[in-house]
């Protein structure tokens, strides 16, 4: 940077303070996954109602759509 230039700086801020979504979007192209989708929706509803964090693990073989469900 040339002498005398103002430094670019971002002030400190609390991480994730505004990261609370109000809905969970699940793609419609999930065929035969009603039980899994219900499990994710139930977990999301519990988190929204209580405000307490919760961890939901998604596992399975490659290519079965794990990434599609959690996007």
Virtual torsion, Cα 29, 34, 36, 39, nearest 10 deg: 120
The residue-averaged pLDDT of 45-58 equals 88
Q: How much is the pLDDT for 1?
A: 45
Kindly state whether residue 54 falls inside one of the protein's structural domains. Answer: yes
Q: How much is the pLDDT for 67?
A: 73
Question: What are the C-alpha distances in Å from 19 to residues 23, 41, 46?
Answer: 12, 18, 17
Kindly state whether residue 27 falls inside one of the protein's structural domains. Answer: no
Q: How many domains does the chain have?
A: 1
The residue-averaged pLDDT of 20-36 equals 77
Q: How much is the pLDDT for 69?
A: 53
Q: pTM value?
A: 0.57
Kindly state whether residue 11 falls inside one of the protein's structural domains. Answer: no
Kindly state whether residue 65 falls inside one of the protein's structural domains. Answer: yes
Kindly state whether residue 55 falls inside one of the protein's structural domains. Answer: yes
Kindly state whether residue 47 falls inside one of the protein's structural domains. Answer: yes
Kindly state whether residue 15 falls inside one of the protein's structural domains. Answer: no
pLDDT at 59 over 70: yes
Kindly state whether residue 29 falls inside one of the protein's structural domains. Answer: no
Q: By residue range, what is the domain housing residue 49?
A: 34-70
């Amino acid at each position: 940077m040339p002498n005398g230039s103002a430094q670019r700086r971002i002030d400190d801020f609390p991480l994730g303070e505004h990261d609370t979504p109000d809905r969970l979007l699940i793609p419609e192209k999930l065929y035969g996954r009603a039980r899994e989708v219900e499990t994710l929706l139930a977990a999301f509803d519990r988190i929204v109602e209580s405000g307490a964090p919760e961890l939901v693990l998604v596992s399975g073989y490659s290519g079965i759509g794990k990434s599609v469900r959690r996007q």
